[in-house]
Structure 1
Amino acid sequence: MTSGGARRDVRGAMAAAAAAAEPWQAAGPRRKRRPAARCRRAREPAAGSLEAEPETDSRVVLRRIREAEEDLLLSDFWSLALETINGCLTEHLEQLKTPRGTLSKALGNLHLDPSPEASDAAPGSLPGEPLVPGTCHLKCVCYGLGNFATCVIARNQLAFLLLFLEKCQIPRRHCCVYDPLFSQLEIAVLDGLGVTVLRENEEGRRSVGGEPTVFYMPHCGAALYNNLLWGNWSADALSKLLVVGNSFRGLEERLLARVLQKNYPYIAKVLQGLEERGLPQTPRYTDVFNDTSVHWFPARKLQQLPADTWAFREEPDYRDCEDLEIIRSRTRGPPAAGLPAP
């Protein structure tokens, strides 16, 4: 090799090294961008999502979760997301107020500091002004976090959940969490954080049982949302749901109408009965919360749907569904709290 060629090779190697060291800049969000793939243990580490080092012990994972919470609290995304969720949650709860006006009164008297008893916060949690008071008796169910011990995206989504519980004064023991991908280490960490880890794969078929419930389902497959709707297929039950997850409108845009109606009929049928508001997009958390919206189902809209909407109650069947993004249960039973009456 000539000396000139050697110099060119050296310069090329130096340029490649410099490019690798250059900090990556996130591109602006696209309106119809598909949700980021969930982190799975079986996948190879990908830049910006999985960490090179293996799972260690719970203390390390807890430290990383606390750091993710602290970073999220200081971000523009968190403050903007709170505004969005607070507006949606207020409208959602207003329609559920009792004749005595309990919820209406509660929404007008936000506490500045949640009491330790009300928030049931675990050691190391961060204080803050609550969104809604504990008197609203909200519950929370989280599906599909993925492997937060090794995945940065999943860990940021968990940090968001923990801060959300604190802001809403939802006791952590009233938050049920499940993902079939959880490792034993991750289950132990979640137990230590005080949330309730479900032991069976419900495939999302959990009924609210008459209680206002927030379902936090970041980047889940369409079948999981479809199952959730089926498990609560009545105007009364749906009016008590608030879903934070992939945009239903986005699903409608990405899927052919016949595919949506055949494979995910409950999503297709409820589109005219929901309100949806997208979470804000900021460069730092683009891959964490892209295509994520807050959905709720106003009773007035549900009551305006055709009467035969509620007559259709067939259990979802995905045998002919391509690209099914759900891990099926080996022994499936009835939904957690039974189907609501139509």
Structure 2
Amino acid sequence: MAAGGWRAARGRRRRGREQRQEEEEEEEEEGGGAVLRRLREARDDLLSSGFWTASAGAVRAPLSGSAEPPARCVCYGLGRFGGCPAARAQLAFLLLLLEELGVPPGRCSLFDPAFSAREAAALRQLGLRLLPENEEGKHAVEGSATLFYMVHCGKALYNNLLWRNWSAGALARMVIVGNSFKGIEERLLSRILERDYSYIAKVLKGTEEVALPAHPRYLDTFNDTSVHWFPPQKLKELSPEVWEFREEPTYQDCEDLEIIRREESAGGRGPAAES
């Protein structure tokens, strides 16, 4: 992953059948070399615009706050990065982030049900790995400090991730780059937040958050994106009752669920998942 040496890429998030079809047609017309060139251009834009340099402070904030450096990374919801410039910029940012934190590409796993087979192959060329199934965000840190890269993902994905790691020890090993938890709290009625996304609601007082800087070129690409971490001291200050309830979220009463369920994503498996 040296500068100029990245290999492969493709696709972005779906916004309707017509756009999805256009993206797939564009992807078919391009060779792997063209996608790699565009990814390198996206990387160069991040660097030349100053956005990456300005973001580096937020990226390093958890480490300066004594959080354990991540040993691996999990990425959800990247989308159709072959046909969408915003998704390509997010992938380029992720690769720069791995370099900055010293996480080898082989220790970074991704999943998005939107990935095409070509995109999956491109990610493997970059040295990245694909998760074998749709976990719905329920990925355990399993004792390893883990960076979760989840830009513009649905609230249920964050809630599921917190539920799966609902202990002070596990949360202290997590860093999440994704939608601002403060923003979620501000936009949702308290009763909706506590009913549908109770783990986000419960962890707010145990969270440190630093927003990525605003930049005119990336207002849509990284808007409302923050780096989150969970200092052990703040987690210790939460009441014991917070940790007692550990029921798995079901979202039965949620009217606007922003998540693709396991059974909806081609039997729960990606287009070219690795076992």
**8 Å contact from structure 1 (residues 41, 181) kept in 2:** no
State how 1:191-270 maps to structure 2 within 5 Å: 191-270=124-203
**8 Å contact from structure 1 (residues 233, 313) kept in 2:** yes
TM-score w.r.t. structure 1 length? Answer: 0.70
Pick from 59, 74, 78: which aligns with 1:85?
59
**8 Å contact from structure 2 (residues 155, 258) kept in 1:** yes
One-letter amino acid matched to 1:307: P
Report SS of the residue matched to 2:221: helix
State how 1:101-250 maps to structure 2 within 5 Å: 136=69, 138-250=71-183
What displacement does 1:198 show?
A: 1.1
What displacement does 1:137 show?
A: 5.7
- Tell me: CA distance 1:41–1:173, structure 2 relative to 1, closer, same or farther (3 Å): farther
One-letter amino acid matched to 1:216: Y
**8 Å contact from structure 1 (residues 250, 291) kept in 2:** yes
**8 Å contact from structure 1 (residues 57, 185) kept in 2:** no
> 1:292, 1:245 → 2: CA distance?
5
One-letter amino acid matched to 2:93: F
User: 2:235 matched to 1:317?
Assistant: no
Report SS of the residue matched to 2:183: helix
> 1:292, 1:326 → 2: CA distance?
18
Pick from 260, 268, 277: which aligns with 2:210?
277
One-letter amino acid matched to 2:171: L
What displacement does 1:83 show?
A: 1.7
Q: Which runs of 5+ in 2 are unaligned?
A: 1-11, 269-275
> 1:329, 1:271 → 2: CA distance?
27
Pick from 74, 94, 98: which aligns with 2:48?
74
Q: What is the CA RMSD across the aligned residues, in angstroms?
A: 1.9
One-letter amino acid matched to 1:235: A
Report percent identity of matched pairs.
56
> 2:24, 2:115 → 1: CA distance?
18
Count of matched residue pairs: 251
Q: Which runs of 5+ in 1 are unaligned?
A: 1-37, 97-135, 333-342
> Deviation digits for residues 235-274 of structure 1, max 9, x if unmatched?
0000010000000010000000000000000000000110
User: 2:14 matched to 1:40?
Assistant: yes
**8 Å contact from structure 2 (residues 23, 83) kept in 1:** yes
User: 2:41 matched to 1:61?
Assistant: no
One-letter amino acid matched to 1:283: P
State how 1:279-294 maps to structure 2 within 5 Å: 279-294=212-227
What displacement does 1:51 show?
A: 6.5
Report SS of the residue matched to 2:228: strand
> 2:62, 2:18 → 1: CA distance?
38
Where does structure 1 differ by over 3 angstroms across 4 or more consecutive aligned residues? Answer: 41-46, 50-53
Report SS of the residue matched to 1:223: helix
> Deviation digits for residues 283-332 of structure 1, max 9, x if unmatched?
00111000000100010111110101111000001122111110000267
- Tell me: CA distance 1:87–1:62, structure 2 relative to 1, closer, same or farther (3 Å): same
